[in-house]
Structure 1
Amino acid sequence: MEDVAKRAGVSRALVSLVMNDSPKVSPARRAAVLAAARELGYRPDLNARNLAQRRTHTLGVLLNDIHNPFFTETVDGLDVAARAAGQRLLILHGARDPEREREAVETFLQLRVEGLVLVGTRIAPDDIDEIAAATPIVLVASGEASGVDTVVTDDRLGAAFVVEHLVRLGHRRIAHIDGGRNVSATERRQGYLAAMDAAGLADRAVVATGGDDDSVAAAAVDELLADDDPPTAVFAFNDIVATGVLDRLDDLGLGVPDRVSVVG
C-alpha cells in the first residue's frame, strides 16, 4: 500500500479509503490510486481487511445438486439480494452427499461467513441445530427445522394445480412418478392423491416409484406403460425427472403431447 501511495502521490490513508470504496475520495484521486494499483499489480489483502473489520461480508451457499435448475435459479435470486445488502456469495457443492455437505459447512464456518443458506440439504436435523448455534442459517427447499428460518414451496398445492390442469385438458388417466426419498416427495404425492380424489379419479390414481433425478425415469415409464390401462398424462416429481420421461417416451416413439402429456 505504501508503494501505491508513493506512485499516486497521495497518503497511505487515502489509498486505504479508496481500497475500502469510501465515498469520501474525489473522483480524480480515486482514479490516480486505482491506476497506481494496476501498474504495481497491487491487490488489497482481503484476510487482513476482514480481521481489521471483524467482518467478511460473505454468505455461504451450499447447493445439494448444481445440476438441478431450481437450485441455480435460487442462487440467481440470492445473488441479487446479497449484492443489494453489500454481501458476496461463496458457493460450494454438496453433490447429494450428506458427509460432503457437512465438510462444506465446516469450510464455511472456518472462513467466518456471516450466514449460511442451505439449499436442498440432506444434513440431519441434529446437525442443522448445531450449525445454527454457530451462525445464522436459512434452509431452502430442505423441509422444516425448529428454530431455523425456512423457505419451502407448497408442494401439496402445486401438485393439485398440476392435476387440475391435466383434468381441464381432458385427461382422466393421470399417473405420478414420485420423488423417492426426497424431502418434498411425500407432500407432492399426497397432494396428487388428494387432487385425484377431489376430481373423482381416486380409483385411477397410480404412483410409480421414482426419485429426484432422470436415472429413475425410464424404469418408471416402462412400469406405467405396462399397465392394461396406461396413463395419458404423467406428473413427474420435478423437471429433471420429467426430462428423463420425455427421453424415454421419445425412445418408444410416443409423441408428447399427442400421445402422452408430461408435467414436471
Structure 2
Amino acid sequence: MADVAAKVGVSRALVSLIFRDQPGASKETRDRVFAAAEELGYHPDNAARLLARGRSRTLGVVLTVHQPFQADLVEGIYPEAERLGYDVLLSASAPGRDEAKSVEALLSHRCEALILLGPTSDYRYLDELGHRTVVAVIGRRLPGARVDSVHTADTKGVRQAIDYLVELGHREIVHIDGGKDPGSADRRRAYRAAMRRHKLADRVIPGAHNEDAGMAAGRLLLEEKQLPTAVFASNDRCAIGLMHTLGRAGLDTPKDLSVVGYDDSHLSHFSHIDLTTVRQDADSLAEHAVRAAITRLDDSTVAPGEMVLDPKLVVRGTTGPPGERPTKVGKNLS
C-alpha cells in the first residue's frame, strides 16, 4: 500500500480509504490509485484486514481422503459459505494424520468455526472441541455434545431399502456393516429392526465404509454353498467393492445377487455401476451445516441443535427380483 501511495504521490492513509471504498478522495485520484495498484500487482489483503478486526470469516472443514460422498459435501459447502460471506479452508485426515491434527491445523489458521465431515473421533473429544470453538458435524448423531449435528434419518433410509427388497421377493438379505465408521451403528440397528418387522432372519457381516470391506465380504460369500439373494451395504464404496468381487467370479448383478448401497455418491451414478442406493442430499446437508455454524458465530446465545433430513431410495440397475441362485458360486477372487 505504501508503494502504491508513493507512486501516485498521496498518503498511505488515503490509499487505505480508497481500497476500503470510503469517502475522501476524488474519482480522478481513485482511478490513479487503482491503475498504480494494477501496475504494481498489488491486491488488498482482506484476510489481514479481517484479522485486525478480530475476525477471519473463514470456516475450516475436516474431511477424510478417499471418501467420495465427503467430496460431494465439500462441493455443497463452498457456495453456501461464499453466499454468506465466508471463505473455506480444508484439512484432510489420512493414515498417519488423525482428525485432531487436522483440527489443530485449521484452528492455527484462525478459522472461526469448524465443519467436521463424518468424524470418527470419540464423543468426549468432540464435545470438548465444541466448548473451544463453534463446531458443526455432518453425518453423525452426538446427543448432548456441544456441537451442531446435521445428518440423514438413517432408520428411514434403511427401512426403505429393506422394504423395497422384500417387495421384490427377497427373503435372504445380508447386511455388510460399516464397523465403527459414522452412521454404521444406526444403519445396523435399522437393518435388524426392518428384518424383524418382516419376520425374516438377519445376518450382519462386519465391514467398513470402503471398497476393501466390500471385496472381503464378497470373498466370504463366495466361499459359502449358496449366496443370499440380496445384500444391503452400509455405504456405496462397500457396495462397489462387493460388486467388483462378484463380477470377477463371473456373477451378474442383479441376476445372481441384488445389491443396495447407501449415500448416492457421484460414483453410484456411473452407467457401469448404476447402483441402487439410499440418497443422502449432500447439498442440503452442507447448507444446513454452514448455516448452523454461522448462526452461532453471529449469536453466541444460540444453542447447538440437531437437524435431521429425510433420505430417498434411488432405484437403479443393481436390484431386481430374486433369480435362480447358483449352488456352486465360483472361485474366491479378489
| TM-score normalised by L of structure 2 | 0.69
Asked whether 1:246 is paired with 2:243, we answer yes
Task: Give me the identity figure in percent.
Answer: 40
Conserved 8 A contact 2:215-2:238: no
The residue aligned with 2:89 is 90
The residue aligned with 1:222 is 219
Give the AA of the match of 2:50: N
Deviation at 1:236, TM superposition (A): 0.9
Conserved 8 A contact 1:59-1:116: yes
Deviation at 1:47, TM superposition (A): 5.3
Give the AA of the match of 1:41: G
> 2:259, 2:79 → 1: CA distance?
32
The residue aligned with 2:115 is 117
Conserved 8 A contact 2:62-2:92: yes
The residue aligned with 1:256 is 253
Matches within 5 A, 1:196-235: 196-200=195-199, 202-203=200-201, 205-235=202-232
Matches within 5 A, 1:3-82: 3-7=3-7, 12-13=12-13, 15-17=15-17, 19-20=19-20, 22=21, 33-46=33-46, 48-63=48-63, 65-82=64-81
The residue aligned with 1:165 is 164
How many aligned residue pairs are there?
259
Deviation at 1:159, TM superposition (A): 1.0
> 1:94, 1:164 → 2: CA distance?
36
> 2:79, 2:121 → 1: CA distance?
26
> 1:229, 1:190 → 2: CA distance?
25
Change (3 A) 1:174 1:12: same
Conserved 8 A contact 2:119-2:182: no
Conserved 8 A contact 1:96-1:122: no
Conserved 8 A contact 1:177-1:234: yes
Change (3 A) 1:18 1:91: farther
Give the AA of the match of 1:50: L
5+ residue gaps, structure 1, are: none
Change (3 A) 1:17 1:263: farther
> 1:66, 1:124 → 2: CA distance?
19
Q: 1:72-115 CA deviation, whole Å, 9 max, x = no partner?
A: 11112211211111000000001266x62112222222222111
Q: 1:105-134 CA deviation, whole Å, 9 max, x = no partner?
A: 222222221111111112222222222222
> 1:236, 1:29 → 2: CA distance?
65
Change (3 A) 1:252 1:12: same
Deviation at 1:168, TM superposition (A): 2.4
Give the AA of the match of 1:127: Y
| TM-score normalised by L of structure 1 | 0.86
Deviation at 1:142, TM superposition (A): 3.0
The residue aligned with 1:126 is 124
Q: Which has the higher contact order (CA 8 A, sep 6+)?
A: 2
For 1:188, what is the secondary structure of its paired residue?
Answer: helix
> 1:195, 1:122 → 2: CA distance?
26
Deviation at 1:33, TM superposition (A): 4.4
Deviation at 1:143, TM superposition (A): 2.9
Which one has a larger percent helix, Structure 1 or Structure 2? 1
> 1:18, 1:213 → 2: CA distance?
53
Conserved 8 A contact 2:91-2:105: no
For 1:166, what is the secondary structure of its paired residue?
Answer: helix
